[in-house]
Structure 1
Amino acid sequence: MLRHRGVAGLLAGDLLAGAGTGMLLVAMPVQTLAIHGDVPRAVAIGLVAAAPFVLSTVLASVIGLGRAGVFPRTLLIADCVLRAATFTTLGVLAVTDRLTLPVLIGGLLVGSLFRLAGSSGRRLLATSMAGDDGRFAVNGLLGLNTSVALYVVGPVLGGIVVASAGAGVALLADAAGALVLLAAVLVFVPRMRADGDAVRRPPMGESGWRILRRRPVAARLLVVVFFFNFFYMPIEVALPLYVRGSLDAGASALGLLWGALGAGAFVGAALVNQLRNLPQRHVLIAIVGLWALCPITLAVTGDLTVAMIVFGLGGLVWAPFTPVAYSFVQSGLEPAEHQPVVTLWTTGATVAAPLGLLAGGPLVELAGVTGGLVLSGVLTLLLVPIAAAAVLGRR
């Protein structure tokens, strides 16, 4: 797939942009804790982490439920431009010590308007250029990008930058990453394709919801993915507090912990293509069960090295989930059905993030960091029999 100029260029831009976004995994909690004021720490972290998903979920839902297609390339360009402008502004305010919690939340609400639509557009563009034969490989490469940039390079660089220069510089780095992805889209992704596939705007047709109703296994899998993501989100709220409390460490340790997750995820994503001949439904169920053990184990250790090993193994297990799930869903779609279904599916899977983060803040505040991690794992374990019934049932 990397021999295809368009696919390679888009993936390279996505990789560099992801590194900037990965820096925010460290920068955002640190910045939030510096300006949270009278708002409880866990609640403030949850609000900031949830803000990018609110308006973007509304827009992506409109696209996925509607019948009129929108150019995926246009959506991705809009996301890059708005993100670059927003994070440049937030970064400047942070560097000059003028950033407040309401301004940060408001900026994330507006600046991430095209986040989900752009993300699904990026996947549509890459898999469309690769064709049916290359879809599984490209979904795996997108997962590999996420693992390397978002959870390895980004957090490690974020920990260094935040510790040495401050969180505001990391916000500016994310803006620069958005500009890099914008350049990659403009240069490597064609405006239109003559064969009418997903690179160009799909014709008027059915909504994503009606298409999913005809494919009940895909619809049930969406429910499983929603709750898998929902039960994960308290971890993102608890982790910065876990590092400060249980591990008695700072921003660099938080970056190393995310980096460990990414290192494991890198190996898991690199092995995705080896899983293509296995029963994909069974693979997805196994991932749900094995990941559930990660936060439970994390809660009972207070050593950074052990925590990194646990999180690394969690990343190894978790990484194949998204590429396998998307390949499974896309394999049963007609070309004109890809954009509404993938956009709606991405939205349905991702809307769990703001809901889980908003619930995770009060949950961690009440149950404590250790209790929040354990509860996240236990609820995910309870999802295993539900997932088995959902995806192994009648086709």
Structure 2
Amino acid sequence: MTATRMIRASPYWPVLTHPTLRRLLPGFTVSSLGDGMAVVAVSWLAIELAPASDHGMWVALAAAAYTVPGAVGGLVLARLLRRRSPAQLVGWDALLRATALGAIPLCHALGTLTIELYVALLAASSVLHSWGQAGIYTILARLLRERDLLAGNAVLSSVGSLSNVIGPPLAAALIAWGGAATVIAVDAVTFLVLGITFLSGVRQDSAPDPEQQDSRTAGLAVIRRTPVLLGLLSLSFVFFFLFGPVYVALPLYVSDDLDQPAVVLAAFYTAFGGGAVIGSLMTGYLSRLPMWPTAIGIVVSFGAFLLPVGLGAPVAAAIGGFAVVGLLWPPYAALSTTLFQRSAPRESLPQALAASSAVRTLSVPLGTALGGPLVTVLGAQATLSLSAASITVLGLGAACTARASRNRRARPSRGRVRRP
């Protein structure tokens, strides 16, 4: 088979050649690269602005401000945003981020940027982010055939994974040249590009019927009424929550328990990022597998490959396991999003996705917050072991629950067949 035929046979071909998505993907890619750069810049600027004695607290607040308000907005702004088209949700989120983030380098240049104002502007920038994400994935669900949804989600995941590999070193170079505020300015421009791309590149289709979406918690109501969605969101929340302590325990494990330099910690994160890129590219080929069992299997495997880190395996083996963990992350994200897109009612999809994004956004910070006390009581290595073992048990429990549910649904059918 020639290279051209192989590309055309790829599950990604219908996504990359879709006339509307071809206009949207460049803007999404630029914005994702900006986010990859912000991972470094947000914390670094907080270090520059905060008093030396309070660096840890302000760095944590800055990181939380860049994500957590989006979860709150996803839950409380449904009444305001329920009549907006998906393209408007993406555009408004992007323009708010561009405005609030753009104010940061402006205030910095004027000498008026304090650490308190910095955190407040970061928080303001993220208020609509759950709705922006919901708009992106709703547009994808409306543009693509159902069989192409997994590949479409995998393309977005691949862009995000590549940005997380390319963005940090690019941010480091820009920080050395012009300071962290310069990187924030670039991030603001990338969101401006995203907003213009979606507002001009997508037909302003009709919004959901307001009579059907009259509650601030309409998205959560849809999820509660749909067992598949409720089970999936519960699994995702606990999964991400249990992974949260790793962000606290891993750096301390490397520096204190292993007595290794920062380059070893960087090797863990580089391995995770490299695995995530490969996992993203593989995801589109999983469409023939049953999605729910595959998602549960990923959770079990994720915990199993994380376990060597907590069991004190040699550094090379632990990094290898962490690379596999990174490889498994994008397929789970894409599979769970695809299940949501397929299972939620079409007219309620933006609300359901926004509620899901809000709940999942809260899970990792909550788990990370738990990581501090756990490390204090148990130590870094034991915390890593507990996190890995708990994720594995979660996956096994989900598998048992899913099997029991299938058996309950099958019993009445068998009973009716036996009747004369």
Q: Name the TM tier (shorter chain).
A: 0.7 to 0.9
CA shift in 2, pair 1:283/1:311, >3 Å: same
| Alignment correspondent of 1:265 | 276
| Alignment correspondent of 2:393 | 382
* Per-residue deviation, 1:68: 4.0
Q: The residue matched to 2:262 in structure 1 has which SS?
A: coil
Residue deviations 1:234-260 (CA, integer Å, cap 9, x gap): 33345566676654227xx76665443
Of 31, 40, 46, 2:60 maps to: 46
Letter of the 1:158 partner, please give it: A
Residue deviations 1:75-120 (CA, integer Å, cap 9, x gap): 2112111211222233455678865443332222111111111111
Matches within 5 A, 1:349-388: 349-364=360-375, 367=378, 369-388=380-399
CA shift in 2, pair 1:68/1:186, >3 Å: closer
| Alignment correspondent of 2:38 | 24
| Alignment correspondent of 2:357 | 346
Of 18, 26, 29, 1:4 maps to: 18
Of 225, 228, 242, 2:239 maps to: 228
Q: The residue matched to 1:320 in structure 2 has which SS?
A: helix
Residue deviations 1:162-189 (CA, integer Å, cap 9, x gap): 4554333322221122122123213322
Tell whether the 8 Å contact from 2:254 to 2:265 is kept in structure 1 after alignment: yes
Tell whether the 8 Å contact from 2:242 to 2:367 is kept in structure 1 after alignment: yes
Matches within 5 A, 1:230-249: 230-238=241-249, 246-249=259-262
Letter of the 1:167 partner, please give it: A
Q: Is 1:81 aligned with 2:95? A: yes
| Alignment correspondent of 2:413 | none
Kindly name which structure, 1 or 2, has the bigger radius of gyration based on alpha carbons.
2
* CA–CA separation in structure 1 for the residues paired with 2:402 and 2:107: 48
* Per-residue deviation, 1:333: 3.2
> After alignment, is 63-72 or 349-358 more displaced?
63-72
| Alignment correspondent of 1:169 | 182
> After alignment, is 292-301 or 99-108 more displaced?
292-301
* Per-residue deviation, 1:219: 0.5
* CA–CA separation in structure 1 for the residues paired with 2:60 and 2:202: 36
Matches within 5 A, 1:173-184: 173-184=186-197
* CA–CA separation in structure 2 for the residues paired with 1:334 and 1:265: 30
CA shift in 2, pair 1:255/1:7, >3 Å: farther
CA shift in 2, pair 1:273/1:118, >3 Å: same
* CA–CA separation in structure 2 for the residues paired with 1:48 and 1:136: 33
Tell whether the 8 Å contact from 1:64 to 1:341 is kept in structure 2 after alignment: no
Tell whether the 8 Å contact from 1:50 to 1:357 is kept in structure 2 after alignment: no
Q: How high is the TM-score relative to the length of structure 1? A: 0.84
CA shift in 2, pair 1:17/1:237, >3 Å: farther
Of 181, 199, 203, 2:209 maps to: 203
* Per-residue deviation, 1:323: 0.9
Q: The residue matched to 1:351 in structure 2 has which SS?
A: helix
* Per-residue deviation, 1:228: 0.9
Letter of the 2:73 partner, please give it: L
CA shift in 2, pair 1:181/1:48, >3 Å: same
Residue deviations 1:208-245 (CA, integer Å, cap 9, x gap): 33332332122012111001111222333455666766
Pairs aligned (count): 383
* Per-residue deviation, 1:372: 4.2
* Per-residue deviation, 1:158: 2.7
| Alignment correspondent of 1:148 | 162
* CA–CA separation in structure 1 for the residues paired with 2:106 and 2:372: 27
Tell whether the 8 Å contact from 1:26 to 1:254 is kept in structure 2 after alignment: no
Q: The residue matched to 2:244 in structure 1 has which SS?
A: helix
CA shift in 2, pair 1:159/1:234, >3 Å: farther
Tell whether the 8 Å contact from 1:66 to 1:208 is kept in structure 2 after alignment: no
| Alignment correspondent of 1:195 | none
Matches within 5 A, 1:263-342: 263-298=274-309, 300=312, 309-342=320-353
CA shift in 2, pair 1:389/1:306, >3 Å: closer
| Alignment correspondent of 1:196 | none
State the identity as a percent: 27
CA shift in 2, pair 1:29/1:312, >3 Å: farther
* CA–CA separation in structure 1 for the residues paired with 2:192 and 2:81: 31
Of 188, 203, 207, 1:190 maps to: 203
Structure 2: segments with no counterpart, 5+ residues: 1-14, 407-420
* CA–CA separation in structure 2 for the residues paired with 1:391 and 1:65: 34
Structure 1: segments with no counterpart, 5+ residues: 193-199
Residue deviations 1:286-310 (CA, integer Å, cap 9, x gap): 211222245543454785x766544
* CA–CA separation in structure 2 for the residues paired with 1:93 and 1:360: 34
* CA–CA separation in structure 2 for the residues paired with 1:33 and 1:374: 31
Tell whether the 8 Å contact from 1:17 to 1:181 is kept in structure 2 after alignment: yes
* Per-residue deviation, 1:37: 3.6
Instruction: Give me the CA root mean square deviation.
Output: 3.1
Tell whether the 8 Å contact from 1:156 to 1:255 is kept in structure 2 after alignment: no
* CA–CA separation in structure 2 for the residues paired with 1:186 and 1:67: 16
Letter of the 2:330 partner, please give it: A
